[in-house]
Amino acid sequence: MDTPPLAGKIAALSLGALPVFYALNHISVLSHPLGVALMSTLILGLFFVAIYSLSHGEIHYDPLYAVFAVFAFTSVVDLLIALQEDGYMIGFMEFYTKEAEPFLRTAHGIFICYWDGTVHYLLYLAMAGAIRRRKRYRNLGLYWLGSFVMSILVFLPGNILGKYSSEIRPTFFLTIPYVLVQCWAGLKVFNQSRAPTRCTPNMVQEEQRKGLLQRPADLALVIYLILAGFFTLFRGLVVLDCPTDACFVYIYQYEPYLRDPVAYPRVQMLIYMFYVLPFYGLAAYALIFPGCSWLPDWALVFAGAIGQAQFSHMGASTHLRTPFTYRVPEDTWACFFLCNLMYALGPHLLAYRCLLWPAFFLHPPPGSQAPHKKQH
């Protein structure tokens, strides 16, 4: 997969967030939540107008260029929030985290801002650069789609159900059009045509004749998916207050962050159990039986989702904003870090395997004898 060049024009415009929000931080009218919401809407509207006037050709070719440009700007804003909350800069975003979205000051909120301000920002620039050069960006888009959806699925319910539910301000409702636009963009990315593969019919037939034992990499992935599935189920039972001794020991000695009243970790583990666990089972099936052409796309989506989730979960579990009683104990930190790191890396290895050697997942050539009785 070729990596498209970054969009320099959008990068330059998005960095305009620094002087804009530094100035806004000193305007007294923004001491009111409604004023913050209206000003945020106005700024995003003006930024969209500027992008449209400067990049009319790119937007006419692919409307997602404007979407990625606007969200690159918001990614810079999120990075400013994270850096300020960790004390690396001052004077930029106090008004916003105080009057608009106080839940961004939690450990989980800080780390989703870091992820959005780095990984999502680079993805937006790369996808916009691909549009400008008329190149494909579907794989990058699928990774971004999974990452964005996971972030929203955890963050919004956590805000409503956790201890910050009484702190919801008017700017919270700006997430409705934000989510709708991103879902529309995600659907457009998903519906794009796939890049053609270099696999010949003979290569497909030869690869699909191999059993699982003849494919050691796939065997290792299947074993990983089974183990990760058990770990996912176990942590789901832990947050559901399973009374067994193993769950009690784990939540108090290994991941006490799962008890944090902010609700983000509980929501995260339940989403893992209800969405990621079924995917692990289906992915293991697709690695055993050939012709499951859906796996490469969904492997990318879930790699992005689990990458974002694990980054936020691991970071928040050890961050100083998390109360000391809910942080990972020092004597179990190595075990916690290793288990969660492997949980994050596995889906990325699966996606890499699907992209690098896709022949096993392609539909068998017409007229060929399927290696297995089941058809997919």
Three-state DSSP at 134 gives: coil
What would the pLDDT profile of 193-235 be if each residue is shown by its tens digit? 888 888 888 888 888 898 999 999 999 999 999 999 999 999 9
Could you give the C-alpha distances from 345 to 120, 167, 226, 309, in angstroms and in order?
18, 35, 15, 12
Q: What is the CA radius of gyration of the chain?
A: 22
Residue 71 contacts residue 120 (beta carbons within 8 Å): yes
Give the distance between the most distant pair of CA atoms in the chain: 73
3-state secondary structure 323-351: CHHHCCCHHHHHHHHHHHHHHHHHHHHHH
Closest C-alpha to 123, from 102, 146, 101: 146
Residue with tokens 């190149």: 135
The answer to whether the beta carbons of residues 165 and 157 sit under 8 Å apart is: no
Q: How many CB atoms lie within 10 A of CB 230?
A: 12
Task: Say what the pTM is.
Answer: 0.90
Dist CA 77 CA 225 (whole Å): 36
Fill in the DSSP letter of residue 63. Answer: T
24-58 per-position pLDDT tens digit? 777 655 566 666 667 777 877 887 788 877 777 88
- What does 61-85 look like in DSSP terms, one character per residue? H-THHHHHHHHHHHHHHHHHHHHHH
Mean pLDDT for the stretch of residues 111-135: 93
Q: Examine the pLDDT at 376 and tell me if it is beyond 50.
A: no
> Average per-residue pLDDT in the chain?
87
pLDDT value for 236: 95
Domain locations in the chain as residue ranges? 8-191, 201-361
Residue whose tokens read 């045509």: 193
